[in-house]
Every structure is written in C-alpha cells, then in structure tokens.
C-alpha cells in the first residue's frame, strides 16, 4: 500500500497514472476499431503482403497463364491497344492481387488514356508492391518515367475536374507517396 | 558576435573546444557521407544502420536492408581506442541490465516509427525536411518528461566494477563485424538493391566512424544528453555542441546542394505527424532513462560500459523485430503494429518511471 500511496505524491505521478490509463484505453480502442475496420489503413496496399513481397529473396516463377497475360499486355501497350491492356491487367490482378507488373501496365494504360489520377494511384500501388521500380540499381527501375509523371501531375492535380473527384484525397496521398519514394532515403 | 560568444563561453561552465569540435564534425561529416554515397538524409543513423546490421547477420528478412555499416563499427572502435589510449577504459555495469535491454528495444521502436534516430533527425531537419518538426517537438517532450521523473528520483542504479572481459566483449564484437565486412563470409548477407545497397566506400565510412567515436568519447557528446542536462540543470555545454552540429550540418547541406526545404518530396519520411511526434517522444523518453541516445550508448559501450552494451543488444534485437513484426514505418506511413508498439513502449517507460525510484 505504501507503494501505491507513493505513486500519488506529486502531480507528475498523477499525470503518469492518467497517461498509463489513457494508453491502455487507446490500445484497446485501436484493436476494437481495427476489428470493425473503422481505422483507415494507411498503407496503399496490405502491409503484410508487401513485407512478404520484400522478404522474397527470389520471387517464385509466375504461373504460365499470368506470365502469358503479362507478356501480351506489354506487347499490346506497345501497340497502343490500351483497353485490351486494362482488361488483361485486371484479369491478372484478379488472379494475383500482388502482381506488381500488372499494376504497372495498368498504370501506363490509364496514363496513355489520359486518366492521370487513376494512373497515379495505380503506379503508387505498383511501387509499394515492388520497390525495385524506384531502385536505381534495379533492372526493373521506372524512376525516369515516374519523375516525368510526377512533374506533370503537379499542375494537373490542381485542376477543378480532378479536385472534385471523390477519390481526390487517395490520389493526393498516392502522389505524395510517389514523390517521397523518388526522393530516395533509407527505409 | 565574437565578444558575445566569448561571454557565453565564460558563462557556460563545462563548455570546451572538444564539444564544439565534435558537434562540428558530426554536422559536416554526417552530411558529407551522403555525398560520398550513403542514402539521402542518412549520413549516420543508429536505428537505420542497426537495421542494416541485423539484416546482414540474418536476423530479419528484408533484403533491402542488409549491410554491415562501418560507421557504427567505427564509432564503437573509435571510442574504444581513445578510451584505451587515455586510460579511460573501465569495465563497469550491472545496474538493471534487463531494464537497459528493454529500454534499448523501445528506443529503436520509437526511431523506426519516426524513420530515424535523433542524429538522423538533425540531418533530416538541416536538409530541409519539414516533416521532422513534429519529431523535434516529440523528442523535446520525451526528454522533458524523462527529466521530470529523474528529478522525482528515477535511477537505474549504481554501476559496479566488472571483470575486464565484460567491457571488452562489445568492442571485440565490433572488430569481428569489421572482419566480416572485409572478408564477406557466405553467411553474412549484403543487399544488392534498396537502401542497404547504397553506401559510401567502407574505408571512408569507417574513418568517419572512428573519428566521431573518438571525439564523442572525449567530449561525451550526445543529443539527448545535451537536452537532458539543459532541462535538468540549465547546463548548456553539451547543448552548445548540438547547436554547432545543427549549424554546420545546415551549412554543409547548403554547400553540397542537399538542402531541399519542404514537406512533400522528402526522402525516407511520412506525413503522419502525430506518430512522428510519439515515435520521437518514445525515443527521447527511453534514451533519457537509459542515460543517452543510441549513439551515446555505442560510445559508452566502447569505453567498457556493460549496461550500454546490454542496451545495444536490445537495440539490435529491436532492429530485427521492427522488420519481422512490421513495426517500422515506411513512406506510405506508420503501421498498426508500429503504433501499438510505440504505445506499449511509452506505457513501459511510464510504469518504469513510477516504480523504479531510489
């Protein structure tokens, strides 16, 4: 009991005890709200899946159907058949939501069709799934292409027709994410 | 200006040239390391570099964070060499080892939330990263709270004398890591992409580490320690060193074209200011209870402090856990697990502060 009385000697002890209670309540609330999915996921994609992706030293070979669809998407992109690319890439993502190249081709197709907000969001997902896209030492790097996009998006994202879109905040978040990834740093 | 500084010098007991020189060296060399090849805004960072070392040792599986950073090895060895040559080496410790270990863990958990330790905070700030401002306030608040509890009687206990080998183990460990870095045995992993693959030449990094470790050993330089001494006793001597570090880092960033002021396109940062605040709050709070920031712990370990060695072991474990358990923030923002870990860390520090008193 002496110990407990000791805890209440000063305002600092009282504040600390209040802090302890508040933190315990916060943790319980965070778990509760997370289970009811009220808390917004900050990550653009599921962070666990990203970690799995990063952890893979050598990614397993793709199933032949997915590989064929990706190859075809690439060819169709060069042939400027963007609608077909979108259909194919979405088909691949239905089979494997973590396939970064499907996101990449989809983003390129959206951009070519003039839908910059959708393109930015999809590029951001591609980069989060596959950080090699913004890695200067990687063969998969798309840094120069992204820099051009980000530079042109600065003005584009201020336009009224884009700011009024319902998912404008998501687009902005994805845009800032791409900016920071392109800036480099240690993570 | 010069007369003002002369007066300031006379009115600041404990201030000496070594502290100023150490601050200047941390400021200049930390920013130059980026020019020489380290990741942007990451000249030196205890938490990032420990994560790299943990990855290289196979303690986590993030293939983008695996490199035996010679800067940290150099800091421990630099401090060790200077301590030996000036007869400052003495094996001591044994005061609350498991508490030091746990505080070491939470220091890194807080830093992983903020994406950098207090030293990197200075580099990020002086390179124009305005997202660090919340972290600065958090660090100040964390140190202030820790100091309040120190005034109330928080004390980890008196370190006792230890057998010399205890104090030698961590510098020897650093030497072994240096051998691993040079020999590159098969069981040590090195990133081929990501931030782990971006580094200055090892001899430059090691040289910088040795220099800073030696200087910090002589001057007792520490960012958290400087703030603690100021809040505790209005002692501005160490804080003056920190001021010089900030000033010279800023000048070097300007000269080397690394100064990029703004909020939006900052490398290795995120926008979640609230969690930036709490991350640095936890780091500052835990570091004050430990007796110094992560880099100071390395310097202390180099001069034979076994408790500091124990806290570094905790930090190394945390450096692995923040990746394996998904606690580390990324440019996409903090994770749910990371937020819970930070809250648990603050909870631990508060309970510890309340019950661990002399």
What tokens were used for A11? 């305002």
Q: Is B351 a residue whose pLDDT tops 50?
A: yes
Of B116, B152, B344, the CB nearest to A10: B152
Please state the separation of Cα B155 from the chain's center in Å.
21
3-class SS letters over A87-109: HHHHHHHHHCCCCHHHHHHHHHH
pTM, full prediction = 0.88
- A138 CB neighbours in chain B (<8 A) are 193
The pLDDT tens digits for B196-213 are: 999 999 999 999 999 999
Q: B272 pLDDT band (50/70/90 cuts)? A: very high
What tokens were used for B249? 């880092």
pLDDT, average across residues B283-303: 95
Mean pLDDT, rounded, of chain B: 93
Q: Is B330 a residue whose pLDDT tops 60?
A: yes
The pLDDT tens digits for B241-267 are: 999 999 999 999 999 999 999 888 898
Report, as ranges of residue numbers, the positions in chain A whose pLDDT lies below 70: 1-8, 36-59
Contact B292, B79 (CB under 8 A): no
0.95 surpassed by complex ipTM: no
Q: B7 pLDDT band (50/70/90 cuts)? A: confident
Whole-number Å distance between alpha carbons of A183 and B263: 12
Task: Give the model's pLDDT for residue B157.
Answer: 85
Task: Give the model's pLDDT for residue B314.
Answer: 97
Reduce the DSSP state of residue B288 to 3 states and report it. Answer: helix
Task: Give the model's pLDDT for residue A57.
Answer: 53
Architecture per CATH, domain A64-182, reads as: Alpha Horseshoe (1.25)
Task: Give the model's pLDDT for residue A132.
Answer: 85
Task: Give the model's pLDDT for residue B257.
Answer: 93
Whole-number Å distance between alpha carbons of A84 and B273: 42
Cβ contact (<8 Å) for A184 and B40?
A: yes
Whole-number Å distance between alpha carbons of B328 and B86: 39
Residues 85-104 of A with CB under 8 A from B: none
- A24 CB neighbours in chain B (<8 A) are 347
DSSP structure string for B85-151: HTT----EE-SSHHHHHHHHHHHHHHHHHHTS-HHHHHHHHHTTBGGGHHHHHHHHHHHHHHHHHHH
Cβ contact (<8 Å) for A187 and B40?
A: no
Contact B168, B83 (CB under 8 A): no
Q: Where are the domains of chain A?
A: 2-57, 64-182
Residues 128-157 of A with CB under 8 A from B: 128, 131-132, 135, 137-138
């Amino acid at each position: 009991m002496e110990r407990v009385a000791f805890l209440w000697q000063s305002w600092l002890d009282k504040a600390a005890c209040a802090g302890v209670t508040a933190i315990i309540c916060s943790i319980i609330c965070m778990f509760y709200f997370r289970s009811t999915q009220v808390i917004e996921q900050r990550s653009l994609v599921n962070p666990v899946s990203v970690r799995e992706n990063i952890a893979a030293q050598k990614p397993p070979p793709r199933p032949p159907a997915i590989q064929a669809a990706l190859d075809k998407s690439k060819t169709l992109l060069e042939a400027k058949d963007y609608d077909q690319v979108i259909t194919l890439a979405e088909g691949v993502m239905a089979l494997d939501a973590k396939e970064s190249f499907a996101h990449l081709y989809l983003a390129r197709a959206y951009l070519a069709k003039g839908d910059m907000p959708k393109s930015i969001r999809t590029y951001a997902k591609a980069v989060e799934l596959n950080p090699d896209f913004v890695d200067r030492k990687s063969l998969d790097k798309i840094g120069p292409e992204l820099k051009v996009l980000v530079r042109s998006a600065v003005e584009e994202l201020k336009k009224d027709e884009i700011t009024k879109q319902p998912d404008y905040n998501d687009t902005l978040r994805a845009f800032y994410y791409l900016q920071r990834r392109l800036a480099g740093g240690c993570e | 200006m010069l007369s003002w500084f002369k007066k300031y010098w006379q009115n600041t007991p404990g201030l000496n040239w070594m502290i100023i020189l150490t601050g200047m060296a941390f400021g200049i060399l930390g920013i130059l390391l980026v020019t020489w090849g380290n990741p942007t805004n990451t000249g030196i960072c205890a938490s990032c570099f420990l994560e790299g070392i943990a990855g290289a040792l196979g303690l986590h599986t993030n293939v983008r964070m695996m490199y035996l950073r010679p800067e940290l090895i150099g800091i421990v060895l630099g401090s060790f060499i200077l301590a030996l040559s000036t007869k400052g080496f003495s094996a001591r410790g044994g005061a609350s080892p498991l508490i030091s270990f746990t505080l070491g863990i939470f220091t890194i958990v807080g830093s992983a939330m903020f994406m950098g330790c207090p030293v990197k905070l200075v580099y990020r700030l002086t390179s124009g990263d305005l997202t660090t401002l919340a972290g600065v306030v958090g660090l100040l608040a964390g140190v202030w709270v820790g100091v309040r509890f120190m005034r109330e009687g928080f004390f980890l206990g008196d370190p006792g004398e230890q057998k010399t080998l205890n104090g030698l183990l961590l510098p020897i460990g650093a030497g072994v890591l240096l051998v691993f870095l040079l020999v590159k045995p098969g069981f040590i992993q090195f990133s081929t992409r990501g931030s782990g693959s971006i580094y200055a030449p090892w001899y430059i990094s090691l040289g910088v580490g040795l220099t800073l470790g030696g200087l910090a050993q002589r001057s007792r330089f520490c960012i958290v320690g400087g703030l603690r001494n100021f809040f505790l006793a209005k002692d501005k001597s160490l804080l003056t060193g920190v001021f010089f570090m900030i000033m010279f880092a800023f000048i070097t960033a300007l000269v080397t074209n690394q100064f990029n002021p703004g909020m939006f396109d900052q490398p290795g940062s995120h926008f979640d200011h609230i969690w930036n605040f709490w991350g640095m709050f936890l780091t500052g709070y835990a570091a004050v209870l430990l007796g110094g920031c992560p880099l100071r712990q390395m310097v202390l370990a180099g001069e034979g402090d076994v408790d500091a060695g124990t806290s570094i072991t905790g930090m190394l474990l945390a450096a692995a856990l923040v990746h394996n358990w998904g606690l580390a923030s990324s440019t996409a923002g903090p994770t749910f697990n990371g937020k819970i870990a930070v809250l648990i860390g603050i909870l631990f520090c508060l309970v510890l502060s309340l019950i661990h008193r002399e």
